[in-house]
A and B are shown apart, each in its own frame.
Chain A
Amino acid sequence: MYKILQRQDLVPNVHLFKIEAPAVARKCQAGQFIIVRVDEAGERIPLTIADWDKEEGSVTMVFMEVGATTRDLARLGAGDSVADFVGPLGLPTHADKFGTVVCVAGGVGVAVITPVARAMKQKGNKVISILGARNKDLIFWENELRAASDKLIVTTDDGTYGRKALVTEPLKELLQGEEKIDRVIAIGPTNMMKFSALTSKPFGVKTIVSLNPIMVDGTGMCGCCRVSVGGQTKFACVDGPDFDGHQVDWDLLLNRQRVYLDEEKRSVEHWQKAHAH
């Protein structure tokens, strides 16, 4: 069992959990993920690491309530425990001195991209970050990401905060601008990563995305998370989750993410029945 040290509700349906897991914390690097299982009947779900503290022996993750398992998780609070917490899994984000790096975060992706931006800055890059959300009420970690960046651009779809735009608009402007952009890193919903990659492609700027296919074990033994990159099949859990966004078969990924839509609905109905009143 792994104890929840802290719970913070960031925005509606998005929660931060700090978990006691010293062996995992000791080895965490930006871009890696963990697999969590809430209880004995639970499924295994991957969540990307948002922060860690080696001294304290803790790992922080941020998740959105989207189905039965994340709702189960959201019922827990500080002092409760989760049954399993495995990691750090996947390859760390490749951090090097590239020059100017644009970090594009969509939705909950901000929690994942913040340590990546920090790692890029530590390597001596100039970091420009774009934080996009549907509306003002869904924005969190603005200050954290700003602190990890040289410049931060905030957008909302409806214009309730920052600039009224999708993240791809400021991204395109940066790519068109005077300043040479050496690398783009986009993390968020699949469509947002897809369109970020499509935006940067004509400019030939290498664009790294953190893919989020369905996973089971997360250690390379099943291939549930397989994706096609540059025409080759890769397992996101061990070969990724970071890949070259210009090489990813996005439609395949979107299809594979939808395989269990019916079952997920049934799972939520079952959950609602179990938790009625």
Chain B
Amino acid sequence: MAKLNLNREEMPRQEPKVRAKNFNEVALGYSPEQALAEASRCIQCPKRPCTGGCPVSVDIPEFVKALRENNMPEAVRALKRKNALPGICGRVCPQETQCESVCTLEKKGAPVAVGRLERYVADWERVNPEAAERPTIQPPSGRKVAVVGSGPASLTAAADLAKAGHSVTMFEALHVAGGVLVYGIPEFRLPKEIVRNEVNYVTSLGVELKLDAVIGRIDTVDELLANSFDAVFLGTGAGLPMFLGVPGENLGGIYSANEFLTRTNLMKAYQFPKYGTPIRVGKNVAVIGAGNVAMDSARCALRLGAEKVYIVYRRSKAEMPARHEEVENAEEEGIIFKFLTNPIKFTGDERGNVKTMECVEMELGEPDASGRRRPVTKAGSNFVMDVDTVVVALGTTPNPLIASTTEGLKTTSHGTVVADEATGQTAKPRVWAGGDAVTGAATVISAMGAGKRAAASIDAYLKTLP
């Protein structure tokens, strides 16, 4: 038997200098040879910890085995049994903290590149659609479910409920389905064609999609329940941006990351004036925060023509919540990191646009409730940076629209919907919730897991109905 290769196949990527000037996908995907070589590293261990590490329990050894045997239709089947959106998950899941972190090979060397293989299988299916087998759809149950929102939690719940034979209507407030997958995550990490394709797959299962439909403004949740829907799933996400709350924050040129990314990704402002939505990016851009959204914003700013882009973070490198891979991509592209730095004030020019950002230096004190060391201001450390664009990427909380228009729905002080973790059931009868609407801003795959659990619970409930 050949000796096990402890190193994973590298994924080809666009050169940093080239990609920093375009919105094309950075990671180019495996060639068939690379995919086969990587799949061959899986030892098919009987314990299969990887499946346990996946929030939607994908049958990882099975799809990897089929791939290794070059049985691509079977690989697709095995993958899609549990995951309706593999082209997305293979690209944006933090595998290093999920399936790959528990891979048996992890203890000896590099874990199997599960995410890259998942992506390879999904991409193969996209160009070989005829090879894919239609999933079994149960006979019509006569039951109707309203799914509010069309992000990862909703898409997953809608797909599972449709497969179970229920009539599903998905309501989306924006003019494109996909939630954060279309307005938040940039094209260079997740091409919109992939999202469109996965949304089409979900509607091909019989899910009716209603765009431009703001639930709470057209029908409320109570009206949906009164107007023939047997159950409602709330997958409305956490879309309300947080700001710093410091002087000068409303000057021109200061964006929330949601606005900056929505203009760029959803409205395609990087193609202005061909596309009608403008965006303003100056020479010196400061992005406040260090999560994935901050990395996405910084890298978009660079591609929109900024000369210097700073990530400004009040903690140190070790506490950054962004994925390691994305931080590395950002560093390679020339993003400048300013750690232990906190903005306290913005000043503007004569037109009311931002001109400077006053910051203080921080040092790390005792761990706080979240276990991270609390940053403390260093007295007298104030300094001023020249900036002409600022993107505030401090996180988001749920939009209060649904909670404020729905009788009897329980929410926390953070505005998240209270729902049972195992079933997604809320305090309100016939209403389920999942994803960021419940947890606050988290990951795509954890939202999908929640969508899946809620769909199972909704299905079980609908079966009890006479």
Which A residues have a C-beta under 8 Å from some C-beta of B?
23-24, 26-27, 37-38, 41-44, 68-69, 72, 83-89, 216-217, 219-224, 226-228, 233, 238, 251-252, 255-256, 258-260, 263-264, 266-267, 269-271
Contacts and interface: CB of A to CB of B under 8 A. Distances in A.
A43 B276 contact: yes
Ranked nearest first, the 3 interchain pairs of A and B with the lowest CB-CB distance are: A255-B352, A263-B278, A222-B259
A87 B243 contact: no
A270 B253 CA distance: 23
Given A87-B214, A256-B250, A238 B401 contact: yes
B383 interface: no
Contact of A219 (B252, B256, B276, B401): B401
B323 interface: no
Interface string B292-307: 0000000000000000
Contacts of B251: 255
Nearest to A90: B217
Given A238-B401, A256-B352, A86 B173 contact: yes
B218 A24 contact: yes
Given A41-B275, A89-B214, A217-B173, 8 more contacts: A43-B267, A84-B175, A86-B214, A216-B267, A220-B240, A252-B250, A255-B348, A267-B276
Contacts of A84: 175, 211-212
Contacts of B5: none
What does DSSP make chain A's interface, helix, strand, loop or mixed?
mixed
B175 A86 contact: yes
B19 to A, nearest CB: 25
Given A220-B399, A222-B256, A223-B258, A69 B276 contact: yes
A33 to B, nearest CB: 11
Given A37-B175, A41-B275, A260 B280 contact: yes
Interface string B422-451: 000000000000000000000000000000
A259 B252 contact: yes
Contacts of A256: 250, 252, 352
B235 to A, nearest CB: 15
B267 A23 contact: no
Nearest to A225: B259
B249 interface: yes
A221 to B, nearest CB: 4
A251 to B, nearest CB: 8
A269 B273 CA distance: 9
B218 A216 contact: no
Given A43-B267, A258-B351, A267 B272 contact: yes
B263 interface: yes
9 contacts: A23-B218, A42-B276, A83-B175, A87-B217, A216-B263, A220-B401, A255-B252, A256-B352, A258-B352
Nearest to B396: A221
A222 B276 contact: no
Contacts of B240: 220-221
A204 B267 CA distance: 43
B258 A221 contact: yes
A271 B353 CA distance: 26
A255 B218 contact: no
Contacts of A270: 273-274
B214 A221 contact: no
B40 interface: no
Interface in B186-227: 211-214, 217-219
Interface residues of B, number: 43
B278 A264 contact: yes
Contact of A41 (B219, B259, B262, B276): B276
Given A219-B401, A220-B401, A255-B352, A263 B280 contact: yes
B36 interface: no
Nearest to B245: A233
Contacts of A233: 243, 249-250
B399 A219 contact: yes
Contacts of B399: 219-221, 238
Contacts of A41: 268, 274-276
Contact of A258 (B252, B274, B278): B252
A217 B174 contact: yes
Contacts of A252: 250, 352
A216 B351 contact: no
Contacts of A267: 272-273, 276, 278
A86 B259 CA distance: 18
Nearest to A84: B175
Contacts of A88: 217
B382 interface: no
B258 A222 contact: yes
B278 A68 contact: no
A149 B160 CA distance: 55
A68 to B, nearest CB: 6
A217 B401 CA distance: 14
Nearest to B259: A222
Nearest to B267: A43
A219 B278 contact: no
A233 B273 CA distance: 30
A90 B279 CA distance: 24
Given A44-B267, A216-B259, A221-B240, A27 B174 contact: no
Interface string B318-358: 00000000000000000000000000000010011100000
Contacts of A271: 273
Contacts of B128: none
B262 A222 contact: yes
Nearest to B249: A233
Nearest to B253: A259
Contacts of B263: 216
Contacts of B243: 223, 233
B241 A222 contact: yes
A227 B255 CA distance: 13
A267 B274 CA distance: 8
A59 B173 CA distance: 18
B239 interface: yes
Contacts of B268: 41
A74 to B, nearest CB: 14
A223 B249 CA distance: 11
A271 B273 CA distance: 9
B277 interface: yes
Contacts of A27: 217-218
B241 A85 contact: no
A1 B243 CA distance: 35
Nearest to A269: B273
A216 B262 contact: yes
Interface string B383-396: 00000000000000
